[in-house]
Amino acid sequence: MNELRHLLQEIRNQKPLVHHITNQVTMNFLANGILASGGSPMMAHHYEEAEEAVMAADALVLNIGTIDPSLVKAMVIAGKKAKQLGVPVILDPVGAGLSRLRKDAVQELVEQVSPDVISGNAAEIAFLMKGEWGGKGVDGDLSGNHEELALHAAAKFGSVIAITGERDAVSDGKERITITGGHEILSYVTGTGCFSTSLIGLFLAKSLETSLSACQRAAGALSMLGICAERAQAVSAGPGSFQTALLDELFRLKPEDLKTAGRWSLGGIQGGK
Amino acid sequence: MNELRHLLQEIRNQKPLVHHITNQVTMNFLANGILASGGSPMMAHHYEEAEEAVMAADALVLNIGTIDPSLVKAMVIAGKKAKQLGVPVILDPVGAGLSRLRKDAVQELVEQVSPDVISGNAAEIAFLMKGEWGGKGVDGDLSGNHEELALHAAAKFGSVIAITGERDAVSDGKERITITGGHEILSYVTGTGCFSTSLIGLFLAKSLETSLSACQRAAGALSMLGICAERAQAVSAGPGSFQTALLDELFRLKPEDLKTAGRWSLGGIQGGK
Amino acid sequence: MNELRHLLQEIRNQKPLVHHITNQVTMNFLANGILASGGSPMMAHHYEEAEEAVMAADALVLNIGTIDPSLVKAMVIAGKKAKQLGVPVILDPVGAGLSRLRKDAVQELVEQVSPDVISGNAAEIAFLMKGEWGGKGVDGDLSGNHEELALHAAAKFGSVIAITGERDAVSDGKERITITGGHEILSYVTGTGCFSTSLIGLFLAKSLETSLSACQRAAGALSMLGICAERAQAVSAGPGSFQTALLDELFRLKPEDLKTAGRWSLGGIQGGK
């Protein structure tokens, strides 16, 4: 997919600014991951500067991992400004089902901001679908239906949905892409899920010119992470050295290494579900 | 000690959820350390979701490293809920003697929550004992008396006391365990003290079945950290690579490697003070 | 420069306490960097304990990377107390030009605290000079004039100014030092700029005895970082392993390795601008 390689080259040339209002646990890793991948990270979380920060940004990532009411306020202000300016907004509804605070935050962000992409694990996306996703349990029979879940959630929310897990699924309600690859060790490093979302932000940066759809750009980001994770795992002795090697591999990946052959399965085209 | 090996195996099987209300400096390291050791970390610090978060947790770790009044409020709510639910509470009184804010926070937590374990360095535990620990200086003649200090503090607070340092001491007011091992390089990596406390939380997780006492479980956690630190040091060139290797070794440690022979000295049994 | 080697030896002997009120993104790295270099880091950011924390400190680092009004309040209280006590204050005006919030914070800190050192990149220092730095663009013709900018800013603010970049420039308005070295990979790791500022704080610690000027001490810190960065780069495969190796090299650097020959160019003496 030459167009995807071109996109990564553009990223490396332009260093798009990916602004984050995100959680305290993983923000250092996200900043280092975006730098290593070729972008410029920014973190600023107070609502008084929310609009000004977005005005400098090429993408806006909202992550509710350590949310509080003041952060929700900043996210709504930043998100609305981003939509006005055509800056793509990517939402990671971390632990959406944990509390009323998170549930309300996600609902407010979805309604007020209408994110371009919502990216999370299957449990989080299924939680957002509650009511319309029937009696199917979150950890139960959903496991085999990430593609189905992404498709339905995309239709419901009018956003691209990216579901990360052993196998990633991306859909915009019509197009469907399944991405294989990566490695189980990713689940032993905190922030790799958050970083998927940040990397999608980088691939969707406003300043990049490409003929790819938002769905394909998000899938490109997940492919890059999967390839780099496999390479990092090959030289690691555990999750500590894996995290270090992952940053090295993100930095070292050449556009021509961004192969999707054998990794992408396209819904309706190559017989995806 | 076969029962301790069984406990680590149970941790690996169950992946207990260790909830943290903790400081901003080391939370990423704590999350990665708990993941590497076999648990599931959670961080959520706003008081509005404090009760709900505890309801999902197997242990609750409270660390006052970057405390503020809003966090104290969240800790008290979470701690009380944990006690109601039988979820063990582990308190790390980081820098307790630095300020009135910290002193008051610790006092409120001790009185309102009554933690199952209080884990800190000798200066912090001695500060808590002030008045009853007489004229002995914090950095002075205490150095040789960690076991004594742990014993007295445990009796006073009705909690297990874990004192970490060159040599660790754990007591519940009757039982006394001294743990040797570890490496000085631990003092050149921020968060290794905080991580001792988190790992104690993992070993005390409510969901685990064991015949070990809380005192022994805490000592087991400190033994695991000591063994892994020695292994990590052997393959490190300095504190950066040590931190990376420590996460690798926590992940790689097999239950059968968790040997306490030659590391534990038991008060009253093997002639401990 | 034997006096600089002596200073590093003093740091290793005394482990000065460098207190930070700093941003959430890089605080873990700063703490590990100060530990590796031989100091003792402290982070405490609530205004209620701001004075007490400074009373324990040998230097105070203020970094506005993730500023909010409550942090500004803490910084002003801490800064004023530090000046009273003769504890040096080092300000990093991260992203000063991004927002009104940051601009006002920097102005308040400069006016109320009068920092001993202001340390940032050329864009940040130039922003502070606005009005008096004429029509010269921030990213434009400033690039060749870091020494000039440092000199003028130092005269305007009455502080030592340290400008970090491909080439570092330090001035107190009279003395001028240019430091070469380091490596481009530093720009792919978040927090290396913030760490420059923290390391300057360590080198300026109140408790250290030296005949060096503040300007020379700041330049010594930047030299140490440059030397360690070069050594780390030589054993790294990318920004992940570089960050790890940098901490190792900071720890391993011996005072006698702190050579400035061929690195320092002194204004007016060796023909600096």
Q: What's the pLDDT score for residue B247?
A: 98
Under 8 Å between Cβ of A239 and B32: yes
Residue C216 reports pLDDT greater than 60: yes
Tokens of residue A201, six digits: 């932000």
Is residue A70 less than 8 Å (CB to CB) from chain B? no
Q: How far is A52 from chain B (nearest CA, A)?
A: 25
**Contacts with A98 from chain B: Cβ below 8 Å:** 44, 49, 52-53, 56
Q: Which of C68, C16, C15 is closest to C46 using CA atoms?
A: C68
- When pLDDT is cut at 50, 70 and 90, the band that residue C130 belongs to is confident
Say whether C25 and A35 touch across the interface (CB within 8 A): no
The residue of chain B nearest to residue C236, with distances taken between CA atoms, is B241
Annotated binding residues of B for ATP, written as ranges, equal: 119, 164
Residue B104 lies in a domain: yes
**Contacts with C56 from chain B: Cβ below 8 Å:** 98
Tens digit of pLDDT for each residue in B136-183? 433 444 555 899 999 999 999 999 999 999 899 999 999 999 999 889
How many separate domains does chain A show? Answer: 1
Tell me the mean pLDDT in the region C28-43: 98
Is residue C244 less than 8 Å (CB to CB) from chain B? yes
**Residue C144 is part of which domain span?**
2-266
Annotated binding residues of B for substrate, written as ranges, equal: 43, 191
Instruction: State the Cα–Cα distance between residues B80 and B176, nearest whole angstrom.
Output: 28
Scanning B6-45 for CB atoms below 8 A from C yields: 23-26, 28-29
C-alpha distances in angstroms, C183 versus B271, C165, C166, C168, C189? Answer: 56, 10, 8, 12, 11
C-alpha dihedral sign at C153, C157, C160, C163: negative
Between C142 and C91, residue with greater pLDDT: C91
Say whether A249 and C243 touch across the interface (CB within 8 A): no
Say whether C243 and A246 touch across the interface (CB within 8 A): no
Residue C83 lies in a domain: yes
Residue C143 reports pLDDT greater than 60: no
- When pLDDT is cut at 50, 70 and 90, the band that residue A1 belongs to is low
Say whether A99 and B247 touch across the interface (CB within 8 A): no
Q: What's the pLDDT score for residue A270?
A: 40
Residue A156 identity:
K
Residue A210 reports pLDDT greater than 50: yes
Check whether A119 is labelled as a binding-site residue.
yes
Q: What's the pLDDT score for residue B145?
A: 85
Residue C97 lies in a domain: yes
CB pairs under 8 A between B and C: 89
Q: Which residues pair with B142 in a beta bridge?
A: none
Tens digit of pLDDT for each residue in C93-104? 999 999 999 999
Tell me the mean pLDDT in the region A26-43: 98
* Mutation choice for B interface testing from C27, C233, C253 by most B CBs within 10 A: C27
Residue C261 lies in a domain: yes
Q: Which of B54, B5, B14 is closest to B34 using CA atoms?
A: B14
Q: How far is C39 from chain B (nearest CA, A)?
A: 9
Q: What's the pLDDT score for residue C111?
A: 96
Tell me the mean pLDDT in the region C217-221: 98
Residue A178 reports pLDDT greater than 70: yes
Q: Which of A10, B9, B65 is closest to C24 using CA atoms?
A: B65
Tokens of residue B68, six digits: 């503020």
Q: What's the pLDDT score for residue A12?
A: 98
| Residues near A67 by beta carbon (within 8 Å), at least 6 away in sequence | A23, A101, A102, A105, B46
Rounded to the nearest angstrom, the gap between the alpha carbon of residue A44 and the centroid of all alpha carbons in its chain is: 19
Q: Which of A187, A166, A184 is closest to B41 using CA atoms?
A: A187
Low-confidence ranges of chain B (pLDDT < 50): 133-141, 268-273
Residue A153 lies in a domain: yes
Give the strands of the sheet with A168-171, arranged side by side: A40-43, A17-21, A59-63, A89-92, A117-121, A160-164, A168-171, A176-179, A264-266
* Mutation choice for C interface testing from B23, B24, B64, B189 by most C CBs within 10 A: B24
Residue B271 lies in a domain: no
**By percentage, how much of chain C surpasses pLDDT 90?**
86
Give the strands of the sheet with B176-179, arranged side by side: B40-43, B17-21, B59-63, B89-92, B117-121, B160-164, B168-171, B176-179, B264-266
**Contacts with A251 from chain C: Cβ below 8 Å:** 188, 238-240
Say whether A251 and C241 touch across the interface (CB within 8 A): no
**Contacts with B24 from chain C: Cβ below 8 Å:** 24, 27, 43
Q: How far is C6 from chain A (nearest CA, A)?
A: 34
User: E strand or H helix at C27, and its extent?
Assistant: helix C27-37
**Contacts with B245 from chain A: Cβ below 8 Å:** 237, 240-241
Tokens of residue B4, six digits: 């301790």
Check whether A43 is labelled as a binding-site residue.
yes
| Residues near A139 by beta carbon (within 8 Å), at least 6 away in sequence | A123
Say whether C190 and A24 touch across the interface (CB within 8 A): no
DSSP secondary structure, B199-234, as one string:
HHHHHT-TT---S--HHHHHHHHHHHHHHHHHHHHH
- When pLDDT is cut at 50, 70 and 90, the band that residue C267 belongs to is confident
Say whether B46 and A29 touch across the interface (CB within 8 A): no
Tens digit of pLDDT for each residue in A38-80? 999 999 999 999 999 999 999 999 999 999 999 999 999 999 9
Instruction: State the Cα–Cα distance between residues C267 and C273, nearest whole angstrom.
Output: 6
The residue of chain C nearest to residue B27, with distances taken between CA atoms, is C28
Say whether C52 and B100 touch across the interface (CB within 8 A): yes
Say whether C239 and A32 touch across the interface (CB within 8 A): yes
Residue B186 lies in a domain: yes
Is residue A268 less than 8 Å (CB to CB) from chain B? no
Is residue B143 less than 8 Å (CB to CB) from chain A? no
The residue of chain B nearest to residue A29, with distances taken between CA atoms, is B28
Q: Which of A43, A53, A248 sits opposite C237 (nearest CB)?
A: A248
Say whether A240 and B251 touch across the interface (CB within 8 A): yes
Q: How far is A82 from chain B (nearest CA, A)?
A: 27
- When pLDDT is cut at 50, 70 and 90, the band that residue C1 belongs to is low
Residue A207 reports pLDDT greater than 80: yes
**By percentage, how much of chain C surpasses pLDDT 70?**
92
Is residue A56 less than 8 Å (CB to CB) from chain C? yes
Check whether C191 is labelled as a binding-site residue.
yes
Q: What's the pLDDT score for residue A144?
A: 59
Residue C204 reports pLDDT greater than 90: yes
Instruction: State the Cα–Cα distance between residues B170 and B115, nearest whole angstrom.
Output: 15
Q: Residue B7: give its domain's CATH number.
A: 3.40.1190.20
Cβ of C86: how many Cβ atoms within 10 Å?
7
**Contacts with C67 from chain A: Cβ below 8 Å:** 46
